[in-house]
Amino acid sequence: MKIYLDNAATTPMLPEVISVVHDSMQNTFGNPSSTHSFGRTARSAVETARKNIAKYFNVTASEIVFTAGGSEADNLILRNAVTHLGVKTIISSAIEHHAVLHSIEALKKEFDVQVKQVKLLDNGGIDYTDLEKLLGQTTEKILVSLMQVNNETGRLLDLHKVSDLCQQNNALFHSDTVQGVGHFRLDLQQTPIDFITASAHKFHGPKGVGFTYFKKGTGINPMLIGGEQERGARAGTENIHSIVGMEKAMQIAYDNLEDDTNYIQGLKTYFIDELKRIIPDIKFNAASDNPKNSSYIILNVRFPREVKMLLFNLDLKGIAASGGSACQSGSSKGSHVLQAILSEEEALKTSVRFSFSKLNTREELDYVFKILDSLL
């Protein structure tokens, strides 16, 4: 039996998305920058996708820039903020994705940017009082970079609260929304954010394609040069087939969002209840069992002790889960997120991230319980 519970790492492509991508590969093969009919057809597909994607966020098509995924989008935003928008101070946290953390580290070395980290609460959330304090400590141009949904724990950020604090202090706000796009609705007129990011493979679309939103008026200094694609924001021929696949995946996600949310939350609640029954001392990192402040997709559990090779043994039984971000799965250092929010003693215990999708079933979860019971 094969059971996939690592949907925060990537999701299976839906058949409808594969069909759209396949059709595009067969019939829309022109270069979008070419002026002949084949090129114009390709350009039309790209711009239609851009327009349709923009509608979900209540923004204009010109504010959407296609990228190769969330990591490139984060890099583009952060570097642009420093090199083009005059940002001298970046406020972030210790639990961000490495696409943000490592980019900030590089910018600090290269441009001597001041970096401040907001305090974390015991439940894994951001200390908004400390954020407000940090925002008031300088009159220099500030960028706040905090993720909407933590990719390891599922902890939710209050985007509206942070947006208000940034506006009150004349700071720019970037949120890595890779784990949120396709799973939560976000109206960028009601919740003003200057920059967001998305990656299609997190919501059943193709890998290697995503986008970033740049609020109109901020301006973009390209990171990739050598062409005028994406209105000069990013050189390189657009990945047409993946872009239209992303558009289709997003349409399906938002057309069915309420039903899918309820179904997946039901799976997660069932999983939590059964884990508590078979393992009474189980803990949930960053209160990931609380639906009020955690994504319905992600559950990060901490077992009462260290269980050596648990992920390996689960894999042998056909169960895919994770110890943290897939981007650092080869690291021997462990999860930087859990190390930031847990005591040294608790961090040594085995933690596993289970992440769900609408393709999972209760029958699959029952099999996982059976296997966990035999391994613990």
Residues marked active site are found at 327
Establish how many alpha carbons lie within 13 A of residue 372's alpha carbon, considering only the half-sphere containing its beta carbon. Answer: 23
Q: How far is CA 291 from the centre of its chain?
A: 18
Closest-CA residue to 156 (of 175, 138, 172, 169): 175
Residues whose CB falls within 8 Å of the CB of residue 292, separated by 6 or more in sequence, listed in order: none
Measured CA to CA in angstroms, residue 88 lies from 80, 199, 242 at distances of: 12, 28, 36
Structure token pair of residue 353 = 């991230």
> Do residues 337 and 322 lie in contact, with contact meaning Cβ atoms separated by under 8 Å?
no
Strand partners, 89: 114, 142
Helical packing angle, 128-135 and 159-168, nearest 10° = 20
Closest-CA residue to 375 (of 299, 312, 302, 284): 312
Structure token pair of residue 62 = 């010109």
DSSP one-letter code for 221: -
Strand partners, 319: 3
> Do residues 215 and 63 lie in contact, with contact meaning Cβ atoms separated by under 8 Å?
yes
